[in-house]
């Protein structure tokens, strides 16, 4: 048995001609944003990548088949269904064996991207160490995946709902390069500045692609995390987000929200508490990350 990936027509053509490809995750569609903004955003992000001269490959498991690139109808069906599973490293293979439909997290999308030969992937924010992890042990599988799987992940920083200092410590322990793009501070998803210094900084897509190449040449496994600050016009300052995040986090604890449900719950509550403003910022930052990822994908094709 071999892994049979279903490629969309544009991704199949890009693979054939060696054109730049950017992978996209789908949990942000099914569990990160409400319908219909999730669908509009997924389409806009794909168009941003095309406009930047690369090909988008949205990753998902549909009826047990791993897809790299969804057509319009598949994307719409996924965005509309409320029963899609949230698949990470632990569950993707089981979902495929059972013929299930599910969206891929950052970790699962990295696995799929590597299997499809795609070197770069854009998302909003990765998972990390949750606040209170000393009691809950809630640390996203995304962090381990970055240590193992050679894909460059472009995000806007770890989501600010997390314990960012602890997330940085774990990434350092795992040997994951955390690279702020164009600034010294680590961005914090909705905000440009987390108040923490980023361990590394690069200022061009070419350097980011070259660093991935060097890592591979050194024989070091794993990927790299690029933290691209949300555009200034779209940011919500960290001081404004802090009380909202604190309230949502308290509610999650009071309601006994656990495991995979934590991140979707927090994002949903923060959307309500900000009157929808956090969603607009989330959309803007994903689109900005997609444009940077396309530039990096083009540099990867130059290095080949």
27 binds, among Mn ion, ligand PSU, none (CB under 5 to 8 A by kind): ligand PSU
**By CB under 5 A, residue 145 contacts Mn ion:** no
**By CB under 6 A, residue 106 contacts ligand PSU:** yes
> Per-residue x/- mask for ligand PSU, residues 163 to 192, rule CB under 6 A?
------------------------------
Which one among 11, 24, 32, 227 touches ligand PSU, defined by CB under 6 A?
32
- In angstroms, rounded to a whole number, what is the distance separating the alpha carbons of residues 257 and 189? 22
Residue of 29, 140, 164 whose CA lies nearest to 89: 140
What residues between 232 and 251 interact with ligand PSU by CB under 6 A? none
Smallest distance from the beta carbon of 123 to ligand PSU, in angstroms? 5
Minimum CB distance to ligand PSU smaller for 102 or for 298: 102
Residue of 4, 20, 3 whose CA lies nearest to 297: 20
Count of residues that interact with Mn ion, criterion CB under 5 A? 1
Based on the residue annotation, tell me whether 159 is a catalytic residue of this protein.
yes
28 binds, among ligand PSU, Mn ion, none (CB under 5 to 8 A by kind): ligand PSU
Q: What is 173-193 written as a DSSP string? A: HTT--EEEESSSBPPBTTBS-
Based on the residue annotation, tell me whether 25 is a catalytic residue of this protein.
yes
**By CB under 6 A, residue 123 contacts ligand PSU:** yes
**By CB under 5 A, residue 142 contacts Mn ion:** no
**By CB under 5 A, residue 25 contacts Mn ion:** no
- In angstroms, rounded to a whole number, what is the distance separating the alpha carbons of residues 146 and 249? 26
Active-site pick, 86, 131, 159, 298: 159
95 binds, among Mn ion, ligand PSU, none (CB under 5 to 8 A by kind): none
- In angstroms, rounded to a whole number, what is the distance separating the alpha carbons of residues 192 and 248? 21
Q: What is 89-130 written as a DSSP string? A: TTTHHHHHHTT--EEE-HHHHHHHHHHTT--EEE-S----BB
**By CB under 6 A, residue 149 contacts ligand PSU:** no
**By CB under 5 A, residue 163 contacts Mn ion:** no
**Which pair of tokens denotes residue 254?**
């009071």
Minimum CB distance to Mn ion smaller for 95 or for 262: 262
**By CB under 6 A, residue 260 contacts ligand PSU:** yes
Minimum CB distance to ligand PSU smaller for 8 or for 105: 105
Residue of 165, 231, 153 whose CA lies nearest to 192: 231
**Rounded to the nearest 5 degrees, what angle is found at the Cα of 109, between the Cα atoms of 108 and 110?**
90
Q: How far apart are the first and last CA of the chain?
A: 30
> Which are the contacts of 296, defined by CB distance < 8 A and separation ≥ 6?
120, 152, 154, 205, 208, 209, 226
Count of residues that interact with ligand PSU, criterion CB under 6 A? 18
Token pair 């995390």: residue: 225
Token pair 């930052």: residue: 285
> Footprint of ligand PSU on this chain (CB under 6 A)?
25, 27-28, 31-32, 105-106, 123-125, 127, 140-142, 260, 263, 267, 282
> Footprint of Mn ion on this chain (CB under 5 A)?
138
């Amino acid at each position: 048995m071999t892994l049979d990936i279903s490629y969309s027509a544009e991704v199949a053509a890009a693979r054939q001609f060696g054109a730049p490809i950017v992978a996209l995750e789908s949990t942000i569609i099914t569990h990160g944003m409400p319908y219909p903004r999730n669908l509009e955003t997924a389409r806009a992000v794909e168009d941003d990548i095309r406009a930047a001269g690369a090909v988008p490959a949205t990753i998902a498991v549909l009826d047990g088949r791993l897809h790299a690139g969804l057509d319009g109808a598949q994307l719409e069906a996924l965005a509309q269904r409320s029963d899609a599973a949230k698949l990470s490293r632990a569950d993707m293979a089981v979902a495929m064996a059972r013929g299930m439909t599910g969206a891929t997290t950052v970790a699962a999308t990295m696995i799929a991207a590597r299997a499809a030969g795609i070197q770069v992937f854009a998302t909003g924010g990765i998972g990390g160490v949750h606040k209170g992890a000393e009691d809950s042990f809630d640390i996203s599988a995304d962090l381990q995946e970055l240590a193992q799987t050679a894909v460059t992940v472009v995000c806007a920083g770890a989501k600010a709902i997390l314990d960012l200092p602890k997330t940085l410590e774990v990434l350092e322990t795992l040997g994951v390069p955390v690279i702020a793009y164009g600034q010294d501070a680590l961005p914090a998803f909705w905000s440009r500045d987390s108040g923490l210094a980023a361990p590394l900084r690069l200022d061009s897509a070419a350097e980011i692609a070259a660093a991935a190449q060097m890592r591979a040449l050194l024989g070091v496994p794993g990927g790299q995390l690029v933290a691209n600050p949300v555009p200034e016009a779209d940011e919500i300052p960290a001081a404004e987000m802090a009380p909202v995040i604190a309230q949502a986090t308290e509610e999650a604890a009071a309601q006994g929200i656990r495991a995979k449900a934590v991140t979707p719950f927090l994002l949903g509550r923060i959307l309500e508490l900000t009157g929808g403003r956090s969603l607009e910022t989330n959309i803007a930052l994903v689109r900005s990350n997609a444009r940077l990822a396309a530039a990096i994908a083009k540099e990867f094709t130059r290095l080949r």
